[in-house]
Structure 1
Amino acid sequence: MSDRQQFTTTSPACELASNKSVLAESLLAKKCLPCEGGIPRLEPAEIATHLLLVPGWQVSGDNKLISRSWRARNFVSAMEQLNALAELAEAEQHHPDLHLTSYRHIRVDLWTHAIDGLSENDFILAAKINQWLQKQSIT
């Protein structure tokens, strides 16, 4: 194999990373769909796959919700972030539980209330929250 061919070949790890990126982008392209129940919760294997697409999110032990936490600079910044998250959630018509503790510690909990578990909507909103956090340089 020539030196040039070595640099143009992609490894399985690169292909997986590329596929994850494409799949994450597909979540960003979707809108949350209204859910009044009647759809099944995501199964643990589906949750694990979706979780790979939303770095920073953790699934609860009972597989019913996902959460992400971070610390704001100060109280005013935390309130601004919560308000921005509320606007994002309202635009998607999918409403998370937003928590502010110790004046600057933020936690977002997502689950589909109507099915008491996780649906694709939760991961769509998680991806959009991740995108917003990245644009704000919040880790």
Structure 2
Amino acid sequence: MVGMVELLTDDQVADALQHLTDWRHEAGKLTRTVEMANFPQAIQAVNRIAEIAEQENHHPDIDVRWRTLTFYCITHSRGGITQADVSLAQEIDSVIDAFQS
């Protein structure tokens, strides 16, 4: 992240969630839980998301429980949700959609 990143207001987060229908605003983070077909597919999805996160230098917190993945997007350095988190959530959705189609 270069420069100062602005935290989004609650209204801005609510607006973003209208387009991120599988996500919720929970404990100051964007959160999504998804169930994959099996454990190997879940790990493949995590690996693809890890590549994207490295490229963008913005990383989600990911909880892996067998084939259930939970993603948490928060800008830790700012203590809340920024536009980078919204963009990352959109990228995660694209990866999950590709695996589930």
Query: Normalized against structure 1, the TM-score is what?
Result: 0.66
Aligned with residue 132 of structure 1, among 91, 95, 101: 95
> Which stretches in structure 1 are left out of the alignment for 5+ residues?
1-33
**Structure 1 equivalent of residue 72 of structure 2:** 109
Q: Which residue number corresponds to residue 39 of structure 2?
A: 75
CA positional deviation for 1:40: 3.7
Unaligned runs of 5+ in 2: none
- Letter of the structure 2 residue corresponding to residue 42 of structure 1: L
- Aligned counterparts of 1:111 and 1:58: Cα–Cα separation in 2: 12
Q: Which residue of 2 is the match for residue 58 of structure 1?
A: 24
The 5-angstrom pairing of residues 27-66 of structure 1 reads: 34-35=1-2, 38-60=4-26, 62=27, 64-66=28-30
Amino acid at match of 1:56: D
SS in 1 for 2:100: coil
Indicate conservation of the 8 Å contact 1:35/1:114, yes or no. no
Identical positions, percent = 26
| 4+ residue runs over 3 A deviation | none
Q: Which whole-Å CA distance do the structure 1 matches of 2:41 and 2:10 have between them?
A: 35
- Contact kept, 8 Å, 2:36 with 2:100, in 1: the verdict is no
| Structure 1 residue 35: Cα displacement | 5.0
For residue 31 of structure 2, what is the amino acid of its counterpart?
Answer: S
> 1:77-96 alignment to 2 at 5 Å?
77-96=41-60
Residue 74 of structure 1 deviates from its aligned partner by: 1.7
Q: How many Å separate the matches in 1 of 2:5 and 2:58?
A: 16
Point out the more displaced range, 105-114 or 81-90.
81-90
| 1-structure distance, mates of 2:45, 2:62 | 10
Aligned length: 101
Q: CA deviation at 1:135?
A: 2.1
Please identify which structure carries the higher helix content: 1
Is the 2:74–2:82 contact (alpha carbons within 8 Å) kept by the matching residues of 1?
Answer: yes
Matched, 1:122 2:85: yes
